[in-house]
Amino acid sequence: MEPFADYERHDATGLADLVRSRRVHPLELFEAAARRIEALNPRLNAIVYSDLDRARDEAAREPREGPFAGVPFLVKDLGAAVAGLPYTQGSKSRVGYVPEEDNEIVTRYRRAGLNILGKTNTPEFGLAAVTEPELHGPTRNPWNTDLTPGGSSGGSAAAVAAGMVPMAHGNDGGGSIRMPASHCGLFGLKPSRGRSTWGPDHLECWLGLAEQHALTRSVRDSALLLDATHGPAPGAPYRPTPPERPYAEELGAPPGRLRIAYTTGGLLDDRPLDPECVAAVESAARLCSELGHEVSEARPALDIPTIVDAFVTLSGAEGAFEVAESERLTGRKAGPGDVELTTWIIRVLGHKRSAVQLDQALDVARRLGQTMAAFMDRYDVLMTSTLALPSWPIGEGELGAGQRALLQVIGRAPTGPALAAVVKQLAGEILRPMPNTHLCNLTGQPAMSVPLHWTAGGLPVGVQFIARVEEEGLLFRLASQLEAARPWWDRRPKLL
């Protein structure tokens, strides 16, 4: 069957409408997606595990049900097990592990009618802001293939931006949906804590910091997909209040006159943002004012060093847990050569910090939630730049020979002062490009990156909007209004 010629002109909702009305067959959609994957993935390295034969059979199957029946889709190789496909999470320590069953989020994708074509690239265990794992190599940004699409959902973002699929799975433990959305000119929402599921293998991820959702081109795709997939698994520790109405019904609904606070600085880093990111926020502030919202410059008072140290502790715990999970799943003992050097140092940190320090870090997160709740009593939305700078060159963050030698020494014999100095340096380097995304993972608030700005060189720059816990509906109403006022649909990278 010939590919659907207008495949890239429709979002996932539009493609599903065409399938439902029988104007387009899912095989036509599959062929269009497969052709684009064949042409573009060798240049972008977005997809690391392909399942096209099974997906072709699925496209030919009847009947087709669900809100996204027949629509091609990709799953990130982190946080989502797909039966029969490798599940490495970007790590050599997981090579050889192939799950026999889908986990719950993938089951919900299939129930929604999505046709899963494969799995996308991710940094090792999602621990980096770029998608450059040693196992699979770097994913490239479709807007400029010398640049990163960000991480950790960088493979998914690159695939959507390149038009391989209209939307793709992602997850977010420190900005991993919002950051690649900013780099790739996409819409990316991180839901409230507990809104998505990690079951049945885990009932939470990253100690409650991470949530599952997707990278999309349109706001309505994000809303309709969240309608189809939200809800905690039985026994989950967080059970947010169900939405009053479907998220799709929020689209086009008046958001009201919102009280929007904005800052052109970094929430968790005092260094100034790139001028393009400042311009993005200032332009978005003017747009929101023109749309009738009450816009003022304000920011919460935060104890940055304490918050950053707490996030480092939680990251260390997660890094140590993931390496231990590799050992459990594969039956192999993991050594320094089985994971990347930075990951090994994060693992060492996880082992060195005490249970008391972990509890203190969680308490910092809880108190930060109180601080933000008080701030959000005065404002409906907090607006920031998603990132501190536009996309940067691939390999820019690679360790130098001296840094690598120092980390290897510390990895073998981690002394307290040396480890503390290295951790402080790594934390500073990690937070430099992304000082605004981690906060919502710590507090559990929903946040979205909206593609409202492009640089003179044609690179997208996202603007982040943060709402109160459980107020995804408000964000969808605002996003729908912004999408109508400053549409981004026709802005596409010219790869072909």
Using alpha carbons only, give the angle 464, 465, 466 rounded to the nearest 5 degrees.
Answer: 120
CB atoms within 10 A of CB 106: 22
3-state secondary structure of 469: coil
Say how far residue 453 (Cα) sits from the centre of its chain. 19
Q: What are the backbone angles phi and psi of residue 23, rounded to the nearest 5°?
A: -80, -20
- Residue 171: which H helix or E strand, with range? strand 167-172
State the amino acid at position 114 in one-letter form.
Answer: L
Is 494 labeled as catalytic in the residue annotation? Answer: no
Residue of 91, 153, 176, 449 marked active site: 176
Which of 440, 427, 430 has the alpha carbon at shortest distance from 384?
440
Cβ-contact 97, 87 below 8 angstroms:
yes
Q: What are the backbone angles phi and psi of residue 174, rounded to the nearest 5°?
A: -160, 15
Cβ-contact 314, 206 below 8 angstroms:
yes
Distance CA 164, CA 179 (A): 20
Residue of 91, 93, 119, 152 marked active site: 152
- Tokens at 330, concatenated: 């594969």
Radius of gyration of the chain, Cα coordinates, nearest whole angstrom: 21
Task: Tell me, letter by letter, the H, E, C secondary structure of 291-323.
Answer: CCCEEEECCCCCCHHHHHHHHHHHHHHHHHHHH
Virtual CA dihedral for 185, 191, 195, 201, nearest 10 degrees? 60
Of all residues in the chain, what percent are helix, strand and coil, respectively (each to 5)?
A: 45, 15, 45
Distance CA 221, CA 476 (A): 11
Is 76 labeled as catalytic in the residue annotation? Answer: yes
Distance CA 268, CA 436 (A): 6
Hunting for tokens 């990163």 — which residue is that?
148
Q: Which whole-number Å values give the CA distances from 143 to 121, 184, 391, 457, in the listed order?
A: 17, 7, 10, 10
- Residue 88: which H helix or E strand, with range? none
Query: Quick one: residue 121, left, alpha or beta (phi over 0 = left, psi -120 to 50 = alpha)?
Result: beta
Is 176 labeled as catalytic in the residue annotation? Answer: yes
Q: What are the backbone angles phi and psi of residue 85, rounded to the nearest 5°?
A: -110, 145
Distance CA 80, CA 171 (A): 9
Q: How many CA atoms lie within 13 A of 142 on its CB side?
A: 29
Neighbour order of strands in the sheet with 259-262: 47-50, 115-120, 72-76, 167-172, 211-216, 187-190, 447-454, 460-466, 381-385, 259-262, 294-297
3-state secondary structure of 461: strand
- Annotated active-site positions, please? 76, 152, 176
